[in-house]
Chain A
Amino acid sequence: MIEVRFAGFGGQGIIRSGLILGRAVSIFDEKFATMNQNFGPEARGGACSSQIVLSDTKILYPYVTRTDYLVAMSQDAYSTFEHELKDEGTLIIDVDLVRANSNKKTYDIPSTRMAEELGNKIIANVVMLGFFTAISKVVSKEAMEKSIRESVPGRFIDLNLRAFNKGYDWGDKKLSEDN
């Protein structure tokens, strides 16, 4: 069982990221994925996170307890959720938005900057999803691409796929640097 948390603030597409990953795993990779969203009573604009539990069998407990992957897209998200990351867990951050000081394995990507270069910072989460897919390998690249096709409006599919691949390539590069 793998537990993932995407965290940031409202408007960054945090919930959508969770849905795309969950859809990819459960519909296209045919495993089990339960996604839950968290937001405070003041729903919009504030802190926001989505949690996804992935498994080969039916998921009984729908929330994350000790995360394997934390994807943080704001400083607040990092400081709130860093502690629930397993010791052997992986921290993934937007290097421009988060100043991390963690002893856990950390990968960073300038996802928002890359999204801006692609023309719209709103797809930073998709760049991040590509990066996450490459680093974590918990979901197949093909499944993610199919999921993105189903999750975004038609005219934005190409842009989103480019964003995804840009993040994915960055992740591949980071991993090869590691080895």
Chain B
Amino acid sequence: MKADPKNVFTGSHYIDGDVACAYGAVAAGCKYLAGYPITPSTEAAEAFAVKAPYVGAQFIQMEDELGSIASVLGASWAGKKAMTITSGPGFSLMMETIGLGAATETPFVIINIQRAGPSTGVPTSTGQADMMQAKWGSHGDYEIIALAPESPQESFELTFKAFNLAERYRVPVMVMSDECVGHMAEKVVIPNAQELEVEPRRYFTGSKKDYKPFKRDKDLVPWMARAGAGYKLYLTGLTHGEDGRPIFDVKTFEMKSKSLRGSTNRYLVDKIRHNRDKIIKFEEHQTDDAEVVVVSYGISARVAIKAVKEARESGIKVGTLRLVTVWPFPEKRIEELAHQVKGFVVPEINYGQVVYEVDRCSQGRANVILVPHGGAAVHDSDDILGAIKQAATDHNPYDRILEYTTALEREVFGENMVSKI
């Protein structure tokens, strides 16, 4: 289905990443945004709120983030594409209901403009330390999809894509932007509506009495129904069968039968894992002959390119792999590369999150060097260059993950900061 031209602000804009997220959402047909103001995400909510009444969308400032996310789930079941926008503290508050969203397989989008530090941190500065929280934040077992934009242009594109993925797989999708991208203004080109393919909601089309909210098609994704349309829906966060009604049976936790009847818990992870090749997107450059590959995402991937160019100029065979979808993680590709390279360099604005995934997938075949950053700024590309050089020379698989000592840390803490994590 093509995007509705009314929703697509075609043309060249000079806007920041936050606003680009809002425009991406509107273009995707998002009709409901509930949020509570929090720096550095407010510009996104504001931009949506300004456009909402022109496109038949609703913006509501809820009383808190707990209410925001709950109302987003409600809006989704009432038939609208819905999202919330937040940052660190608000993201934490939403965790319980994200679990409800995962369990009830509700399509919705969360935009998290990440800020620095735990707790209140540095509200006006950047960070990438919510990546594991995005994956594991709510209790219990489930899978979500998370995307990481590197520019305002990509903020538009990935927010748009997030809605398509949410509808396609009936899953919460997170756009893990950060303050730097969020507050960075650049040219954003929004194409014509005809060039934007929108995933419509996959409504059940059979007879109402046959509808089961968790009965799956062959790619394991169940069909949606509208609330208040006579389906006698029963939806619960309790573990449930395909009719949505609770079952408390050991069989529901491990489905042994090969038939598609049975537990939801198994499917919550399987519907993403079985479809991961269709979901996962990453960008590779110069990896053909690479001895070192820089694996990164979001703004860090962008900053790393400078270091990669300099390293190539000095004769080091280095390539890049930029994660566009961080979750699910491209395990297979990292594993393949691990056979080829001496080492991976992983710059991220935290003290080690996605780097563990890289190490897990490389299975000790390659060194993995983390270039850490405490937040509030982006990496100095010289640090990434230093780590690339180190990865190109040292090769001791037993080292596993090594933490690179950045220039700033050397200055503050002295020479002997290098540690294994």
Contacts and interface: CB of A to CB of B under 8 A. Distances in A.
B351 to A, nearest CB: 21
Contacts of B39: 43
Contacts of B312: none
Interface stretch (B28-36, B180-188, B278-286): B180-188
A36 B183 CA distance: 6
Contacts of B299: 62
Interface in B33-71: 39
B183 A26 contact: no
Contacts of A39: 124
B306 interface: yes
B180 to A, nearest CB: 6
Contacts of B302: 60, 62
Contact of A26 (B124, B180, B186): B186
A41 B123 contact: yes
B377 interface: yes
A112 to B, nearest CB: 25
B152 to A, nearest CB: 9
B14 A34 contact: no
Interface residues of B, number: 21
A60 B299 CA distance: 9
Interface string B293-306: 00000010011011
A27 B12 CA distance: 7
Interface in B105-145: 122-124
A33 B378 contact: no
B186 A33 contact: yes
A35 interface: yes
B378 A62 contact: yes
Given A22-B186, A27-B14, A62 B180 contact: yes
Contacts of B306: 60-61
B252 interface: no
Contacts of A61: 303, 306, 378, 381
A19 interface: yes
Nearest to A27: B12
Nearest to A26: B187
Max count, chain B CB within 10 A of own CB: residue among A27, A32, A62 = A62
A167 to B, nearest CB: 21
Contacts of B381: 60-61
Interface of A: 18-19, 22-23, 26-27, 32-41, 43, 59-63
User: Which 5 A-B pairs rank lowest in CB-CB distance, beginning with the nearest?
Assistant: A23-B14, A26-B187, A35-B185, A60-B306, A60-B305
Interface of B: 12, 14, 16, 39, 122-124, 180, 183-187, 299, 302-303, 305-306, 377-378, 381
